Amino acid sequence: METPDGAPILPKAELHLHIEGTLEPELILELAARNGKVLPHPTLAGLRAQYQFTDLQSFLDLYYANMAVLVTEADFADMTRAYLGRAREAGVRHAEVMFDPQAHLARGIPLTTAVAGISSVLADSFDEFGITTGLIAAFLRDRPEDDALDVLGQLLAMDAPIIGIGLDSAEVGNPPSKFIRLFDRARDAGLRLVAHAGEEGPPSYVWDTLDLLGAERIDHGIRCVEDSRLVERLATGQVPLTVCPLSNVRLRAVDTLAAHPLPQMLASGLNVSINSDDPAYFGGYAGANFAALVDEFGFDADTLERLAGNSIRSSFARDARKEELL
Ligand code: ES4
Ligand code: ZN
């Protein structure tokens, strides 16, 4: 496969992706009509006009509001299928997909509806799209830890096909220390551990995500560059950082793409991969993120290969699958 300008599309893994963030405006309107939901912005133009964010919270408000259209198992399945089709076009061959169980439960949607809808499509992702997949339950850090523990317990009791847990939503004011018992419980259950840190939060949140939660991967982590000791720690341990450039620009975590710390992170020897986060909200899928980087920084073939290779090596795919993709 090639991009429109003839560059090869590298096989890659997507490690930082919120499935609810793949709900395109067109699908939102379609699902709203199907489920008889009246949206505050019922036209495509009106809805699209809402996609201007000043920070993480301004995005989260719209992201949670739009989830109202996800009602049936088929809704979750249709959303997941649409994502896999778009990811495949961008060269994604392995995807670890997060979902927000608490956000659906809070709307009165049974856990089984969300889990079955998403996982039924992931179960066939290799046959249908040539993409191996894993499902990660992400917990909302702006809610109490007891709520997360309760929902993790329910997921384990129903034997939900999850490979790990994550931590997302409003970061500042909700430090990693709040979720020590949650991560201990997940580790005991044999689950893999990832967490958002250093997106809007300070470098100390990245330290604590490693040292208190034992996370194996950091989602975002871009503010690590403010702490040279932390950069050294991350480089020495080759801790995977799942960077999302277009997300960071759209949520104003950086002023411009030109000001993004990614080149500095690469120069420091960090293990970074490129991911789309919430592609329907931030201007595109993995392909658009790579294209923007090539445009802005003129990354050469070696750098692009390093980024794609990092994503595969940092995935929770089986070793044989990694070998196949590298
Ligand atoms: C998210 Cl970009 C981002 N950060 C934190 N939580 C999230 N949930 C969905 N997208
Ligand atoms: Zn994210």
Task: Note the pLDDT of residue 24.
Answer: 97
In a domain, 9, yes or no: no
260 is in an annotated binding site: no
In a domain, 214, yes or no: yes
- Contact between residue 145 and residue 179 where contact means Cβ atoms under 8 Å apart: yes
In a domain, 70, yes or no: yes
Task: Note the pLDDT of residue 9.
Answer: 87
In a domain, 19, yes or no: yes
Counting ligand 1 atoms within 8 A of each CB, the residue from 19, 61, 169 with the most, and so the one to mutate, is: 169
Range 16-26 average pLDDT:
98
- Quick one: CA dihedral 20, 26, 32, 33, positive or negative? negative
| CATH code: domain of residue 291 | 3.20.20.140
**Closest C-alpha residue for ligand 1 atom 7:** 169
pLDDT at 3 over 70: no
Closest approach atom of ligand 1 to CA 196: 5
Task: Note the pLDDT of residue 4.
Answer: 57
Task: Note the pLDDT of residue 232.
Answer: 98
User: Which ligand ends up closest to the CA of 17?
Assistant: 2
User: Which ligand ends up closest to the CA of 243?
Assistant: 2
How far is Cα 166 from Cα 38, in angstroms, rounded to an integer?
31
- Quick one: CA dihedral 114, 115, 116, 121, positive or negative? positive
Residue 1 vs residues 6, 87, 127, 210, 303: alpha-carbon distances, Å: 9, 13, 19, 38, 19
Task: Note the pLDDT of residue 5.
Answer: 57
Q: State what percent of residues in the chain have pLDDT above 70.
A: 98
Ligand 1 mean position, distance from CA 18 (Å): 7
Ligand 2 mean position, distance from CA 203 (Å): 17
Task: Note the pLDDT of residue 177.
Answer: 98
In a domain, 1, yes or no: no
Taking phi over 0 as left and psi of -120 to 50 as alpha, with beta for the rest, 159 belongs to left
Residues enclosing ligand 1, CB less than 6 A? 18, 21, 56, 63, 168-169, 196, 199, 247, 277-278
Ligand 2 mean position, distance from CA 16 (Å): 6
Range 104-116 average pLDDT:
98
In a domain, 8, yes or no: no
Q: What is the mean pLDDT of the chain?
A: 96
Number of domains forming the structure of the chain: 1
Closest approach atom of ligand 1 to CA 18: 9
Could you confirm whether 296 is annotated as catalytic? no
In a domain, 2, yes or no: no
Range of the domain at 143: 15-325
Range 195-215 average pLDDT:
98
Dihedrals phi, psi of 120, to nearest 5 degrees? -65, -35
User: Interface pTM (ipTM) of the complex?
Assistant: 0.95
> For the chain, what is the HEC assignment?
CECCCCCECCCEEEEEEEHHHHCCHHHHHHHHHHCCCCCCCCCHHHHHCCCCCCCHHHHHHHHHHHHHHCCCHHHHHHHHHHHHHHHHHCCEEEEEEEECHHHHHCCCCCHHHHHHHHHHHHHCHHHHHCCEEEEEEEEECCCCHHHHHHHHHHHHHCCCCCCEEEEECCCCCCCHHHHHHHHHHHHHCCCEEEEEECCCCCHHHHHHHHHCCCCCEEEECHHHHHCHHHHHHHHHCCCEEEECHHHHHHCCCCCCHHHCCHHHHHHCCCEEEECCECHHHHCCCHHHHHHHHHHHHCCCHHHHHHHHHHHHHCCCCCHHHHHHHC
Task: Note the pLDDT of residue 1.
Answer: 61
In a domain, 303, yes or no: yes
